[in-house]
């Protein structure tokens, strides 16, 4: 069975066609600049690449081009789009309604629309992608896999903010958590990789990329996760501040004559290691290079990032009354040997011991703790597309 996985942004569309017999990627690609001049499709299959530059006023045209590429005599991998059994869509926000992936019908589309306020950049694009597939492949099931679903398992004490309850009732203001598909995938893989009890295994997943979040789960069910109403809460990220006193917003507004929206934009796009380093970069490789060259602020930014991750691991261990496994994933988590080691150096009190030789590794499943470490620590590359494809298969089988 072949599953097409789509991740639609406001002007982009990423796709993978996955053969679920062996979970292999048959083709993948990206449509860029949808609705803008210079639209372009880059399609990769069988070690070959095809680039099509053609206007794509809407996602519907982009999907049609993807379909053409998939059946192209030279670059295609199927002979008929009817071979695609189902389409799995990454949908950002399911609000308080959906805690599980679901086959799309009119009710599901209504909820995606009702959540435009909660996911203003992503939900409209996600809906466009679904409607484009309905038009291009009538009768082929579409499945919505929510980025917020994993966090819906949190208990009230973890997801409610300590603000007047009426705001939850009126506007659904609560902690949702994002990167849910990644946390679901990696926590499941950690249970298997570390040989933990599938019902009781206590896992902390550190998804450390340009966006960063951390989750605590027991038996794959989320106990807590660091992002909140929006992805701004929690860890220090490439450009996002993570946790701070909300009065910081008021103070910057007053001192700089800015409004709340402008300051929130600064907290989302100009803060994190980019802001802390005095503007060096949001890219962790650049920050590390600057630190090696003696840049003090870059050094502090990295130290603060590492310190915040270590504090969250401590908090989440307390929340679960223990931890069996800690998994590192995403760009920094999978590749940054020094940051992983520095985070683990805070965890001696948990009996964490790292094997430096094993940690000297990038981007593959790898146990990095020693045999006598009390907690198993590992690198597990995330694969959100495969997680979406598995969910899609589960629902349409």
394 near ligand AMP (CB under 6 A):
no
Tell me how far, at minimum, the Cβ of 333 lies from ligand AMP, in Å: 8
213 near ligand AMP (CB under 6 A):
no
List the catalytic residue out of 47, 107, 117, 147: 147
Q: Which residues, listed in sequence order, are joined to residue 87 by a DSSP beta bridge?
A: 4, 142
210 near ligand AMP (CB under 6 A):
yes
Tell me how far, at minimum, the Cβ of 357 lies from ligand AMP, in Å: 18
Residue among 384, 393, 389, 386 nearest 180 (CA): 384
202/340 with CB nearer ligand AMP: 340
Among 85-93, 198-206, 300-308, 328-336, which window interacts with ligand AMP (CB under 6 A)? Answer: 328-336
147 is annotated as an active-site residue: yes
Alpha helices, H only, 163-295: 166-171, 180-193, 247-256, 260-269, 272-276, 284-292
97/343 with CB nearer ligand AMP: 343
187 near ligand AMP (CB under 6 A):
no
Q: In whole angstroms, what separates CA 170 from the centre of its chain?
A: 28
59/340 with CB nearer ligand AMP: 340
By CB under 6 A, name the one of 177, 234, 331, 381 that touches ligand AMP: 331
Q: In whole angstroms, what separates CA 291 from the centre of its chain?
A: 27
3-state secondary structure of 45: strand
3-state secondary structure of 169: helix
Contact between residue 243 and residue 234 where contact means Cβ atoms under 8 Å apart: yes
328 near ligand AMP (CB under 6 A):
no
Q: Which residues, listed in sequence order, are joined to residue 221 by a DSSP beta bridge?
A: 218
147 near ligand AMP (CB under 6 A):
no
384 near ligand AMP (CB under 6 A):
no
Beta pairing, strands 376-379 & 325-329: parallel
Residue 10, CA distances (Å) to 4, 41, 42, 119, 202 in order? 19, 15, 17, 12, 37
By CB under 6 A, name the one of 87, 132, 196, 332 that touches ligand AMP: 332
55/279 with CB nearer ligand AMP: 279
360 near ligand AMP (CB under 6 A):
no
Q: Is the dihedral of CA 147, 149, 151, 156 positive or negative?
A: positive
209 near ligand AMP (CB under 6 A):
yes
Tell me how far, at minimum, the Cβ of 288 lies from ligand AMP, in Å: 6
Among 3-11, 67-75, 245-253, 283-291, which window interacts with ligand AMP (CB under 6 A)? Answer: 283-291
| Whole-number Å distance between alpha carbons of 251 and 146 | 35
Which residues participate in catalysis according to the annotation? 147
């Amino acid at each position: 069975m072949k599953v097409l996985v789509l991740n639609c942004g406001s002007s982009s569309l990423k796709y993978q066609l996955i053969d679920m017999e062996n979970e292999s990627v048959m083709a993948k690609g990206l449509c860029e600049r949808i609705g803008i001049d210079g639209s372009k499709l880059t399609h990769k299959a069988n070690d070959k690449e095809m680039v099509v530059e053609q206007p794509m006023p809407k996602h519907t045209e982009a999907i049609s081009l993807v379909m053409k590429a998939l059946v192209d005599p030279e670059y295609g991998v199927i002979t008929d789009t009817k071979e695609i059994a189902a389409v799995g869509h990454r949908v950002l926000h399911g609000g308080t309604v959906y805690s599980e992936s679901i086959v799309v019908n009119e009710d599901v589309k209504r909820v995606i629309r009702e959540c435009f306020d909660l996911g203003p950049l992503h939900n409209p694009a996600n809906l466009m992608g679904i409607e484009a597939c309905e038009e291009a492949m009538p009768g082929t099931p579409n499945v919505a896999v929510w980025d917020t679903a994993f966090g819906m398992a949190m208990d009230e004490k973890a997801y409610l903010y300590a603000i007047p309850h009426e705001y939850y009732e009126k506007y659904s203001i609560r902690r949702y958590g994002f990167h849910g598909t990644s946390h679901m995938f990696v926590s499941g893989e950690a249970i298997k990789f570390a040989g933990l009890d599938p019902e009781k295994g206590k896992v902390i997943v550190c998804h450390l990329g340009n966006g960063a979040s951390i989750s605590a789960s027991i038996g794959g069910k989320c106990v807590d996760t660091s992002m909140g109403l929006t992805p701004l809460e929690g860890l220090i990220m490439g450009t996002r501040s993570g946790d701070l006193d909300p009065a910081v917003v008021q103070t910057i507004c007053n001192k700089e004559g800015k409004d709340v929206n402008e300051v929130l934009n600064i907290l989302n796009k100009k803060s994190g290691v980019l802001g802390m380093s005095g503007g060096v970069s949001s890219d962790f490789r650049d920050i590390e290079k600057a630190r090696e060259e003696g840049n003090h602020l870059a050094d502090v930014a990295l130290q603060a990032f590492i310190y915040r991750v270590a504090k969250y691991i401590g908090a989440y261990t307390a929340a679960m009354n223990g931890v069996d496994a800690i998994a590192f994933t995403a760009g920094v988590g999978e590749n940054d040997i020094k940051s992983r080691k520095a985070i683990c150096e805070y965890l001696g009190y948990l009996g964490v011991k790292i094997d430096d030789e094993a940690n000297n590794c990038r981007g593959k499943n790898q146990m990095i703790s020693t045999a006598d470490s009390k907690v198993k620590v590992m690198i597990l590359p995330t694969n959100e597309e495969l997680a979406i494809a598995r969910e899609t298969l589960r629902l349409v089988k």
